[in-house]
Amino acid sequence: MKTSVIGYPRIGVQRELKFASEKYFRKEITADALNTTAKSLRLSAYEIQSRNSIDFIPSNDFSFYDGMLDMAFLLNVIPKRYLDLKLTELDTYFAMARGYQGKSGDVKALAMKKWFNTNYHYMVPEIDDATEIKLNGNKPFELFSEALENGIKTKPVLTGAYSFLMLSKYAGNKDKWELSEKIAETYIEIINKLGSLGADWIQLDEPCLVRDMTKADIKHFKDLYQKILEKKGKTKIILQTFFGDIRDCYADVCSLDFDGIGLDFVEGSKSLELVREKGFPNDKTLFAGIINGKNIWKNNYRHTLDTVSELQKICADTVIGTSCSLLHVPYTLKNETKLPESQKRYFAYAEEKLSELAELKLIITSHSPDKTNEFIQNTLLFCRKRTEDDTAVKERIAALSDKDFSRSPEFSEREKIQKRTLKLPLFPTTTIGSFPQTEEIRQIRASYRKGDISEEKYENFIKAKIAECIELQEEIGLDVLVHGEFERNDMVEYFGECLNGYVFTEKAWVQSYGTRCVKPPIIWGDISRAKPMTVKWSSYTRSLTEKPIKGMLTGPVTILNWSFPREDISLRESAFQIALAIRDEVNDLEKNGISIIQVDEAALREKLPIRKSDRKSYLDWAIPAFRLVHSGVKPETQIHTHMCYSEFSDIIKEIDDMDADVITFEASRSDLTILDDLKENNFRTEAGPGVYDIHSPRIPSKEEIKNSIRKMLLKISPEKLWINPDCGLKTRGYTETVASLKNLVSAAKEIREEINV
Ligand code: GLN
Ligand code: ZN
């Protein structure tokens, strides 16, 4: 029995790579210094894996920014605009990742997209007719040799050719699959070169196989691999899949000349059934993903051992490993100094998952019933209930009935009432919630947390900020005002801290993109609202202005999706528990005279299942969870929601079904294509597609915004259109924010006049 890891975290236990990279970007350290940090992170990852006697230790899983970007670089998929900057290799790479503005020119970064159903983002490679696919650079070879020099023979990891082409954007006139030949040749060259350096096994990641595949997709996949495998030499190739099962192409994968096939038995709901029913080729090794690479709970050994023993009966050679790269979990529990042992013992981060693999290997190979029992007893303890049920919460959920999920009167009725009571102008202007978070605000929040300043002093500071923010918005002339969210560190953590049932970590950082990390809290037990969360700030804000203000909350699906979820109860149940807590807050805001309440669902789209057939069961609880939040408010109270990621063409009906009164979303970067979908589907919720992109400091001109509004009016009827930026302003500076919002307000005013004429 051998063990394998698909990929290891790379940002550094203390986020060393993040800090070194950011210093490099600010020109405070040299490329050599950055490389030194990177090398020591790689070596310590190898060391820790070898200490846990992992047999297949990955290399080339390290990246300065993103693995897909590395692959693009290696295949020479580098758009000309970056080469024209004539920078060093490393700086060209970073220009693709982050954009470049300086002496050599001004270019935007490559597009960035969510990596399947995770909160990780990859850079989208851009291929055009001028792209010349060929081997470029040495990274996988250098990293393989570096590990070898340090006594470790690794398994180099590359993004597979099929997923690379599938996920790339093709800007040319030809069919992108015409590149298959060249791509295959280059992969062969890479494989042979690694083989000649001594690599025995190479892992090719093909996550696109877990998506729904058409016949044409399968053909492209097979064509590519027939070409590659024909010339792979004696180096063994693992086709590695993760994030689901490969039900559409299992037989095809088995029929190709791979030496190993990696399947995910954690998220792949059909993986076991596929092996059981279709068998497994006896000339190949099965790499069975049985340790969850996405969550932080200890493994249930009994369940795992049952699965492995069934697999061993069918497969001649089985290797056990992680279900996906450990990139998606934090490094190590060792740095969680504040969590009590009574909680920590339930968790396994990346390093602890390595010891789980080592233990499982020991159990399986020892054939010692005593040993096995001892381990199983240990883990069983952690699979049992951790906490007492919160009976009040359980009873509340049990008592829910249909009417708790539907608001009355129905939408069109409410729309009329709200037009009458809120008296907003045509094309109301507003923002998404946060205003720029300056260094001063961050510091005051930190000092308050540390206990360096008193609660009173802190509250007065926040109040002063809110007052300034209201004054600013009145001066700009916005119609619906916000308090600015100065009291919030993060849109999930802030709420989590006011809820019972959450656990917060100190160092559980997970890479989100590039040097950006997130620290998702852990849902430990049943959730309920410990205390009102926002009422104080919203009521204070209301006292400052005659204009309507928007209360600002994060929705249940987003809070759940950006946390490490429980595995002992369903996601649905957790979502409903959180929804009830947010519902209490919504009702309290209403009681305190807040007539517009926004419930952000920034991450609702993110966890939409990869396969179409699984989507219904997700939407069947996600949409009701949102409805549960607001079904108790009066018809006059206007409920808004916001989504960051506007790729929701295929779930437009469900979004309408959330039954919010207004939705704002990101649209400016997707060329407003979403508007066609809204029109086609007779979208009834009032909508504010962002009129400008807040992810850049660029100030949009009034004319530019007017043009966007005119385009929107072709698809959305005037009485349903709101005018707003595409997301919160917290990452922006004040200068560009004020200028942009002034242009936004004048643009809306002028279009109102045009319409009235
Ligand atoms: N209300 C939040 C803000 O403005 C929304 C953030 C988000 O969508 N990610 O910051
Ligand atoms: Zn957003």
Coil vs helix vs strand at 737: helix
> What is the C-alpha separation between 618 and 621, in angstroms, rounded?
6
Question: Which residue stretches of 664-733 are H helix?
Answer: 674-680, 702-713
Please give the pLDDT value at position 670. 63
- Is residue 124 within 8 Å of 113, Cβ to Cβ? yes
In the reported structure, the alpha carbon of residue 721 is separated from the centroid of ligand 2 by a whole-number distance in angstroms of 18
Please give the pLDDT value at position 111. 86
The answer to whether residue 695 is catalytic is yes
- Is residue 322 within 8 Å of 289, Cβ to Cβ? yes
Please give the pLDDT value at position 20. 98
Residues 6+ away with beta carbon under 8 Å from 44: none
Ligand 1: which of 431, 561, 642 to mutate, judged by most atoms within 8 Å of the beta carbon? 642
- Is residue 171 within 8 Å of 126, Cβ to Cβ? yes
Please report the atom of ligand 1 found closest to the CA of residue 602.
Answer: 8
- Is residue 206 within 8 Å of 163, Cβ to Cβ? yes
Ligand 1: which of 487, 549, 600 to mutate, judged by most atoms within 8 Å of the beta carbon? 600
| Domains of the chain in sequence order | 2-10+47-74+110-383 (3.20.20.210), 413-435+472-756 (3.20.20.210)
Positions in the chain whose pLDDT score sits under 50: none
- Residue 297 pairs in a beta bridge with 347
Please give the pLDDT value at position 669. 62
Question: Which residue stretches of 169-230 are H helix?
Answer: 180-197, 215-230
Please give the pLDDT value at position 372. 80
Coil vs helix vs strand at 178: helix
Residues 6+ away with beta carbon under 8 Å from 534: 551, 552, 553, 585, 589
Please report the atom of ligand 1 found closest to the CA of residue 644.
Answer: 8
> What is the C-alpha separation between 63 and 512, in angstroms, rounded?
13
Ligand 1: which of 430, 432, 480, 489 to mutate, judged by most atoms within 8 Å of the beta carbon? 432
Cα 67 to Cα 60, 116, 514: the distances in Å are 9, 14, 10
Task: Give the residue from 126, 136, 150 showing the smallest Cα distance to 50.
Answer: 150
Q: Which listed residue (220, 483, 640, 695) is catalytic?
A: 695
Handedness of CA 263, 266, 270, 272 (dihedral sign): positive
Find the ligand nearest to 512 CA: 1
Q: Name all residues whose Cβ lies below 6 A of ligand 1.
A: 432-434, 485, 491, 552, 600, 602, 642, 644, 727-728, 730
Task: Give the residue from 149, 173, 636 showing the smallest Cα distance to 420.
Answer: 636
Residue whose Cα lies nearest atom 9 of ligand 1: it is 602
137 phi, psi to nearest 5 deg: 90, 175
Find the ligand nearest to 554 CA: 1
Burial of 348 (0-12, 13-18, 19+ CB in 10 A): buried
Task: Give the residue from 331, 353, 336 showing the smallest Cα distance to 17.
Answer: 331
Coil vs helix vs strand at 642: strand
Residue whose Cα lies nearest atom 3 of ligand 1: it is 728
Give the rounded distance of the alpha carbon of 91 from its chain centre: 26
The helix, strand and coil proportions of the chain, stated in percent and rounded to the nearest 5, come to 45, 15, 40
In the reported structure, the alpha carbon of residue 642 is separated from the centroid of ligand 1 by a whole-number distance in angstroms of 8
Burial of 85 (0-12, 13-18, 19+ CB in 10 A): middle
> What is the C-alpha separation between 137 and 45, in angstroms, rounded?
23
In the reported structure, the alpha carbon of residue 601 is separated from the centroid of ligand 1 by a whole-number distance in angstroms of 9
Residue whose Cα lies nearest atom 10 of ligand 1: it is 728
In the reported structure, the alpha carbon of residue 113 is separated from the centroid of ligand 2 by a whole-number distance in angstroms of 14
In the reported structure, the alpha carbon of residue 490 is separated from the centroid of ligand 1 by a whole-number distance in angstroms of 9
Please report the atom of ligand 1 found closest to the CA of residue 643.
Answer: 8
What contacts 24+ positions apart, CB below 8 Å, involve 435-440?
Answer: 435/469, 435/472, 435/482, 435/484, 435/485, 435/486, 435/729, 435/730, 435/737, 436/729, 436/730, 436/731, 436/732, 436/733, 436/734, 436/737, 437/486, 437/730, 437/731, 438/734
